[in-house]
Amino acid sequence: MNEAAMNTPPFLISEAVDLKLHYPIAGGGWAGRSATRYVRAVDGVDLAIAQGEAVALVGESGCGKSSLGRALLRLEDPTEGVVRFDGQDLTALSQALLRPLRRGMQMVFQDPFSSLNPRMKIGETLAEPLRVHGIETGRQARETVAEILHVVGLEPRVAERYPHEFSGGQRQRIAIARAVIARPKFVVADEPISALDISVQAQIIDLFDDLKARFSLTYLFISHDLAVVRHIADRVAVMYLGRIVEQGGPDEVFDHPLHPYTRALLDAVPIPDPEKERHREIAGLVGDVPSPTTVFQGCRFASRCPHAMDICRQRDPVLETVTAGHSVACWLHME
Ligand code: SF4
């Protein structure tokens, strides 16, 4: 790589800047602007995803991962902050102006069955994005459908069949094929393997790896299970109650976790060796998960953190770089 290329910052495909997504609660004083209580699903997130990068977003259920993924595609309107896709500010666009951008950003859902129309043949389902975005129709579209089915590991003849004729793993392959057939620049995969058998999960992970190499796909892979993301992620972002509390390369986050929450998540990953599993010590979390309606003054993890100090309850730690490419929001690691 020449010096100019080395000094050129990577092109960002997706970016969130101080993104907030707060949902008003019914009975919480709701009257539009006068609502007094909100679920703070996303509560001040900065995240930048470079072209060709696979970022894994991990955390317990309810931490705001899916809301963040949807907001990055402007499937949800942010309460505050900015979302950019391919250099464009999505927050400033009307639905009509967003429509042509939809081809470039797609989503894969947890439940492939609900994302496929049971009354449409697989071939029709896959050809739909090509038709809707004015890319191809007729014979050309049928050829592209056959091609993408081959890419995701299915026989082209399955185009004539219906979703109920497939297993869960095959249906997820079809849903992934539908997401990538129009060659999007960015895909958000929201827990795409958590509804599948363990034996099938590894195959779908391999498929994401393959698609990344084949199409230079940029994607955000959302998972509550840290163990599954190590091998596919270029970067891992750990989310807790609406905030990213640690991010870095998989080796840094898995082998040198800095945030007590990341360490606890890693401790909860089962070890495949039953002997080691029996003897290991798990640094269990103390306390309860605070309500997502809480307005935090200090660190949002303080009520569960075994290392909480006075400063943690008084001041909110922000994400700071500790070593190159590895950042954490924790007072234990601040100067
Ligand atoms: Fe624990 Fe304090 Fe770090 Fe929060 S800032 S994770 S409470 S040590």
Domain boundaries, given as residue ranges, for the chain: 13-119+162-334
> What is d(CA 93, CA 95) in angstroms, rounded to the nearest whole number?
7
137 burial type by CB count under 10 A (0-12 exposed, 13-18 middle, 19+ buried): exposed
The ligand 1 atom at the shortest distance from the C-alpha of residue 306 is 1
Residue 302, ligand 1, Cβ within 6 A: yes
pLDDT at residue 114, as a whole number: 79
The whole-number average pLDDT for the span 99-109 is: 94
CB-CB contact of 211 with 151 (8 Å): yes
Q: In the predicted model, is pLDDT for residue 5 greater than 60?
A: no
Residue 260, ligand 1, Cβ within 6 A: yes
Question: Per residue in 159-211, pLDDT tens?
Answer: 999 999 999 999 999 999 999 999 999 999 999 998 888 889 999 999 999 99
Question: Per residue in 115-158, pLDDT tens?
Answer: 799 999 999 999 999 999 999 999 999 999 999 999 999 999 99
Helix (H) and strand (E) counts in the chain:
12, 12
- In the reported structure, the alpha carbon of residue 310 is separated from the centroid of ligand 1 by a whole-number distance in angstroms of 10
**What does 185-214 look like in DSSP terms, one character per residue?**
SEEEEESTTTTS-HHHHHHHHHHHHHHHHH
- Output the furthest CA–CA distance in the chain (Å, rounded): 68
pLDDT at residue 2, as a whole number: 56
pLDDT at residue 111, as a whole number: 85
Straight-line distance from the first to the last Cα atom of the chain, in angstroms, rounded to the nearest whole number: 35
Phi, psi of 190 (to 5 degrees): -95, 100
pTM: 0.90
The ligand 1 atom at the shortest distance from the C-alpha of residue 302 is 7
Neighbours of 125 (CB within 10 A): 23
Confidence class of residue 334 from pLDDT cuts 50, 70 and 90? Answer: confident
Q: Ligand 1 test: best mutation among 300, 304, 319, 332, most atoms within 8 Å of CB?
A: 332
282 burial type by CB count under 10 A (0-12 exposed, 13-18 middle, 19+ buried): exposed
How do strand 186-190 and strand 105-108 relate by DSSP bridges? parallel
- In the reported structure, the alpha carbon of residue 331 is separated from the centroid of ligand 1 by a whole-number distance in angstroms of 6
Question: Per residue in 199-231, pLDDT tens?
Answer: 899 999 999 999 999 999 999 999 988 888 988
- In the reported structure, the alpha carbon of residue 265 is separated from the centroid of ligand 1 by a whole-number distance in angstroms of 15
> What is d(CA 317, CA 299) in angstroms, rounded to the nearest whole number?
6
Q: By C-alpha distance, which of 159, 138, 137, 139 is closest to 148? A: 159
* pLDDT, greater one: 234 or 34: 234
The ligand 1 atom at the shortest distance from the C-alpha of residue 245 is 6
The ligand 1 atom at the shortest distance from the C-alpha of residue 305 is 1
CB-CB contact of 185 with 157 (8 Å): no
- Residue located nearest, by CA, to atom 6 of ligand 1: 330
pLDDT at residue 282, as a whole number: 45
Give strand ranges (E) for 135-242. Answer: 186-190, 218-223, 235-240
Fold for 13-119+162-334, please state it: Rossmann fold (3.40.50)
- In the reported structure, the alpha carbon of residue 333 is separated from the centroid of ligand 1 by a whole-number distance in angstroms of 9
The whole-number average pLDDT for the span 86-98 is: 94
- The whole-chain average pLDDT of the chain stands at 89
Question: Per residue in 266-307, pLDDT tens?
Answer: 987 765 665 654 554 445 566 778 888 888 899 999 999 999
